[in-house]
Amino acid sequence: MHRRLLRLACGSCLALACAPDQDLELARAWIGPEGGAVNGGAVTVDIPAGALASETEIVLYRAEASLTTAGYEQRGDAVTIEPVGLRLALPATVTVTVTESSDDTSVLVAAADRIVAYPGEVAYLEYLGDVALAHGGTPTLTLVAPELGSSPTQPGGDFVDKVHFELELDGTERVDLLFTAWDLDGEQTLLNGKGHCGFEVAQLVGGSLTAGCAAGRVTASLNATDDKVSFDLLPHHLVATDAPVSVGVIAGDGELGYSLGYFQFDAQLDSGGCQLEECGGAGL
């Protein structure tokens, strides 16, 4: 009991010293490893069990910043989800309630030094940050193959060993790729190395590799020499799991990232794709 009171007291002091204006606060809740949800304004944040290692106070504030970029026009206020920059072991589902939906509706998420557009009214956050509803905008990258699922819990395909990707480009030569693997059973949280190194790009056609995952921000960066690029995605630091993993795919042009979807990858020891408790011969 005393620890709980002390934590609340310390949290209050920190909030007064560091948090935005309290008039802008929408909601707050303590959420632990068992998961939970918090709702404020038009935003609902659902954090699954296993996403947090310890009890954490999640706070929603009305944000004054604008996320408008690359033809995507923000509608209404943005909402800051704190602690900003916190990386979750499993993605949080963020739903923005809208009065009128349209085919060009997106959720913009600003976190981890990037802005990503998620189609529709739902986004899946690996990092906490600012979120806002937007309309308009045309992606500069289009996924041709493979066919991906719409959410981490409904990934497309059932791939083993490698995944072949094809992208069409419109007005950009830069392609930043971000692949993040999640074990939704919560048994394994060290799937991506220290950054986003669970996979690596190989057999690249239509461009050159300019950066790998060493910097921690992306899985790979490409310089395209054509309006189409293709490559194979191979396991790198991905470790073996008892069940297939879900993998999120984001591709960007340096200004804006686009959530392309999710695929299932079999990283089981008995799948033929992983040996000696590691995939791709890399391990951790």
pLDDT at 256 over 80: yes
Assigned CATH topology for domain 20-135: Chondroitinase Ac; Chain A, domain 3 (2.60.220)
Closest CA to 65 of 47, 85, 79: 79
If you ran DSSP here, which 8-state letter would residue 1 be given?
Answer: -
Q: What is the distance in angstroms between the CA of the first residue and the CA of the last residue of the chain? A: 40
Domain ranges of the chain: 20-135, 141-279
Inter-residue contact 189 to 211 (CB < 8 Å): no
Pairwise CA distance, residues 124 & 47, whole Å: 10
Pairwise CA distance, residues 131 & 124, whole Å: 11
Pairwise CA distance, residues 40 & 60, whole Å: 6
For 158-176, what is each residue's pLDDT tens digit? 999 999 999 999 999 999 9
Assigned CATH topology for domain 141-279: Immunoglobulin-like (2.60.40)
Inter-residue contact 216 to 256 (CB < 8 Å): no
Q: Confidence band (pLDDT; 50, 70, 90) for 282?
A: very low
Number of C-beta neighbours around residue 248 at 10 A? 22
**240 compared with 209, residue with greater pLDDT:** 209
187 CB-contact burial (10 Å; exposed 0-12 / middle 13-18 / buried 19+): exposed
Q: Token pair of 224, please?
A: 């395209």
Any idea which of 76-85, 92-101, 223-232 has the lowest mean pLDDT? 92-101
